[in-house]
Amino acid sequence: MAFANPLLLIGLSAILVPIIIHLFNFRRYKTIYFSNVKMLEDIKKKTRREQTIQQLVVLALRILGIAALVFAFAQPFIPAKGQKNKNGNLVTVFLDNSYSMEANSENSALLYEAVDAAKSIVNAFDFSDDFVLTTHDFTGEESHILNKDQMLELLDKVQISHNSHSFNEILAFEKNTCTNSQKGHVVHYYISDYQKNNFNIAQLKVDSATHTFLVPVPSEDRNNVSIDSCWFMSPVFKVGNQVTLMARIHNYGDKDLNMLPVKLYVNDKQKAIAAIDIKGGDYIDCRMAYSIDEKGIQCARLVIEDAPITFDDQLFFTYQVTDNTSIAVIQDKENNRFLQSLYGKDSVFNYMPMMYTQVNYTQLKGCDVVVMSEVPRLSSGLADEIGKFVKAGGTLLVFPAKEMDNSWNQFLRSLGTGTFGALSKRELKCSAINTESVYFKGALSNQNEKLDMPVTLQHYSIGGGSHGNEVIMMLENGDPLLVGYPVEKGKVILSSVAMNDDFGNAHRHAIEFVALHNIGLMSSLQGKLYNTIGIDQMQAISLRSATGDGSISLKARNSKDEFIPEQRSLGNETALYFHNQVQESGFYDIVKDGAVVGTLAFNQDRKESNLDCYDKDEIDNMAHAAGDNIDVISADTHDIAKSVTDKLNGRPLWMYFLILALLCFLAEIAVLRFWGKPTINKNEDK
């Protein structure tokens, strides 16, 4: 047994007072004279021996009562195993302030209950102890050792955070801060709702100089609905077209929801609304169709209403609606009239023909598609520029010449695509088309109908290349007529025939016209609709319309936040690296030289949407498996201070001694009141 206030044991000297009283017995007897005692009744007198025993019992009760009272004030306790706090404690508190802590407990929001619990823990320690506060914010203040007053002041500033770090990251940040303290005994407290998708208690590494306490704050309501993601059924956007947006809505609770409204806003105008039914623990893909009525960057958001968790009730995304697709046709000698008819007479395309010996590289950088038609040889400069164009996301369509030198296959091998083989002059018919290809999907009304296929008089064999190639059209001997290869962000499509009558009628045929037309359209495929904060740290953008050499900044629309991201040139594109500079969901304008040249959308990670948490029994089992120095205590602020003291200092005994003191004083009163009281003998004759 040990004492929290051992100096108070000096009060045991007070037991000398009843001893002195007993030894010197200050009672004085007074003689009373009666004129006649005959009428007095006989009484039984106490013996001297009986009186002595009574006095000793009273003395013992007084000594024991005083000693118990002194012990109670000295706060005795049974020390906890391995206690090492002679030089003070380093107290670390992790306070979960992620979005899931917006949920309600029995009394209030989980965050408020967690803050109150943290304050009770801090108040249970001395001013000589060191303190460390860790939240999901990882702020500068949290990286310093605090005193008790600073710790309590910082706890008052804690709010719900958009950040959500893994348990490993939390432990690493906390460990780095603790190295600044000289205290030998470390006490860790982790206050959280303990979401299953974010906590792994097995990652705790506890040694004999530390003691860890898990403080769960259970949620009363674990129901939540989230907009998880969205995508378009058609990846090409033109004014006047109707598009279909799919949105995945997830019900993480156990209650079924009926007629939940889902609203779509584009440029702050409501475009569509749907009412959905979702079973508990399930999700549904909601379909929303609408027409595109304006060009340019479209800033859209999906909205539902679901309290109290609201961070996932909106999903922001952007997409680009363009006037037309820019297509550069690099060819030999004269303009190819078939390509002119295909791309030059359609208002959807911006057609730019040029000779392979006089390539305008400035125009080339702003194109979506580059068509190489019957170019016999590639210079090193042209090959380098075309390679950069493809890798940055462009589409290259190649029609071979009757005579080509080895520069072509060297170029194609550098990109990892197939190469042109021997020229076969055998007449062949197209035997199959890939109806699942993006260039044919939805273009044929009746796929079972027997189609008139194009015929080739001669063709190049195409072979080799990396994995992932897609045969779009195939000849009856198994050679591809049209085949595509992915190259980093772009695509290379090789045709085995040229666009002239010497190679057959493929260039005049409607089937190939559909494929080539869609190749031009699909080159405007959209990139990412949105970025996820904390996960997506880079996005490549095209700045075709931007001028000047100034730096690029991102400016939030819903706040005054503005920052300059890291920038790297990627051929026709610029890569922006965010490095966790984006903190809030919403739209961020890309600003260059004071002009807005684009807009990006950012959303919070949805991992906080699932409110499935460990219950107390699961936490107890994990704590027991993790180590002997890990305990679980309740977050109830009425009991947590006592629990902290009990768990840290050991089992307190002051209450037992106080009760013992009261019992001793009551026993003393009873002995003096009832023991040996003279009784009247009523049975004797008068």
467-479 pLDDT, tens per residue? 678 899 999 999 9
Residue with tokens 């010497």: 502
% of the chain at pLDDT higher than 70: 85
Check residue 4 and report its DSSP letter. S
463 plus 372 within the same structural domain: yes
Residues contacting 71, CB < 8 A, separation 6+: 3, 9, 653, 654, 657
Give the percent of the chain with pLDDT over 90.
34
Q: Is 231 exposed, middle or buried (0-12, 13-18, 19+ CB in 10 A)?
A: middle
Residues 308 and 391 occupy one common structural domain: no
Same domain, 333 and 311: no
Tell me what pLDDT residue 84 has.
Answer: 47
Question: Has residue 197 got a pLDDT over 90?
Answer: no
Confidence band of 521 (pLDDT split at 50, 70, 90) = confident
Confidence bin at 646 (pLDDT 50/70/90) = low
Residue 646, domain member (yes or no): no
Query: Where a domain ends, among 273, 301, 322?
Result: 322
Specify the range with the lowest mean pLDDT, choosing from 46-60, 177-191, 313-327, 389-403.
46-60
E strands, 267-414, are 269-278, 283-291, 296-303, 314-321, 325-331, 349-355, 369-373, 395-399
Asked if the structure places residue 679 within a domain, the reply is: no
CATH of the domain at 329: 3.40.50.880
**What residue spans of 452-581 are helical by DSSP H?**
510-522
SS3 letters across 401-439? CCCCCCHHHHHHHHHCCCEEEEEECCCEEEEEECCCCCC
pLDDT at 628: 72
pLDDT of the residue at 676: 62
What would the pLDDT profile of 143-167 be if each residue is shown by its tens digit? 999 999 999 999 999 999 888 888 8
**Domain-embedded: residue 607:** no
* H or E element that contains 213: strand 210-216
Judge if 543 and 589 occupy the same domain.
yes
User: Do residues 460 and 518 both lie within one domain?
Assistant: yes
CATH of the domain at 312: 2.60.40.10
Does the pLDDT at position 245 exceed 90?
Answer: yes
Q: Show which of 307, 322, 337 is a domain's final residue.
A: 322
Residue 165 belongs to domain with CATH number: 3.40.50.410
Token pair belonging to 662: 């009261």
pLDDT tens for 312-369 read 999 999 998 877 788 999 998 778 888 888 888 877 788 899 999 888 888 887 788 9
| Six token digits for residue 454 | 């194009």
pLDDT value of position 4: 64
Q: How far apart are CA 587 and CA 21, in angstroms?
A: 87
Residue 498 domain flag: yes
Q: Which of 661, 683, 610, 639 is nearest to 280 (CA)?
A: 610
Taking residues 99-119, report their average pLDDT.
86
DSSP summary character for residue 681? -
Q: Say which residue the tokens 């000096």 belong to.
A: 10
Phi, psi of 472 (to 5 degrees): -90, -40
Q: Are residues 402 and 344 in the same domain?
A: yes
Mean pLDDT of 418-444: 86
Burial class from Cβ neighbours inside 10 Å (0-12, 13-18, 19+) for residue 461 reads: middle
In the predicted structure, residue 441 carries a pLDDT above the cut 90: no
Q: Where are the beta strands (DSSP E) in 496-611?
A: 531-532, 538-542, 552-556, 562-563, 566-570, 573-577, 586-592, 595-603
Does position 39 have pLDDT exceeding 70, yes or no? no
Bin 393: left if φ > 0, else alpha if -120 < ψ < 50, else beta: left
Say which residue the tokens 């190939």 belong to. 512
Cα(377)–Cα(399) distance, integer angstroms? 12
CA 589 vs CA 163, 383, 540, 559, 597: distances in Å: 22, 35, 14, 12, 8
Residue 52 domain boundaries: 2-74+653-674
* 3-state secondary structure at position 448: coil
Based on the fold, state whether residues 184 and 233 are members of the same structural domain.
no
> Which position has the higher pLDDT, 207 or 420?
420
Q: Rounded to the nearest 10 degrees, how much is the dihedral formed by the CA atoms of 33, 34, 35, 41?
A: -150
Q: What is the pLDDT of residues 538-553, one digit of tens each?
A: 888 876 555 556 788 9
Question: Which has the closest alpha carbon to 453: 439, 484, 474, 468?
Answer: 474
Residue 686 has a pLDDT of 45
Q: Is residue 527 part of a domain?
A: no
Each residue of 477-495: pLDDT tens digit?
999 999 999 888 789 999 9
Highest mean pLDDT among 95-109, 180-194, 286-300, 331-345: 286-300
Under 8 Å CB-to-CB from 419, ≥6 apart: which residues?
408, 409, 412, 413, 462, 463, 464, 465
- For 62, other C-beta atoms within 10 Å of its C-beta total 21
What is the phi/psi pair of residue 516, to 5°?
-70, -35
Asked if residue 645 is part of any domain, the answer here is no
| 483 and 336 in a common domain | yes
pLDDT bucket at 684, cuts 50 / 70 / 90: very low
Does one domain contain both 329 and 316?
no
Q: Residue 341: its pLDDT value, please?
A: 87
Residue recorded with tokens 């001694």: 657
Q: 579 and 665, same structural domain?
A: no
- pLDDT for 363 equals 83
The per-residue pLDDT for 66 is: 86
Q: Choose the final residue of a domain: 295, 322, 349.
A: 322
Q: How many domains does the chain have?
A: 5
Residues 255, 346: one domain?
no
Residue 31 in tokens: 């003689």
CA distance linking residue 173 with residue 177, whole number of Å: 6
What is the pLDDT of the chain when averaged over all its residues?
A: 84
In-domain check, residue 570: yes
- Is 79 inside any structural domain? no
pLDDT at 370 over 90: yes
Confidence tier at 203 by pLDDT (50, 70, 90):
confident
How large is the angle between the packed helices 637-649 and 110-123, nearest 10 degrees?
40
Dist. CA 385–CA 361, nearest whole Å: 8
Is residue 17 located within the same domain as residue 68?
A: yes
Instruction: Note the pLDDT of residue 445.
Output: 55
Contact 212, 190 (CB under 8 A): yes
pLDDT at 517: 85
- Of 320, 316, 351, the closest CA to residue 238 belongs to 320
Binned at pLDDT 50, 70 and 90, residue 27 comes out as low
Strands, sheet with 552-556, edge to edge from the N-terminal-most edge strand: 531-532, 595-603, 586-592, 552-556, 562-563
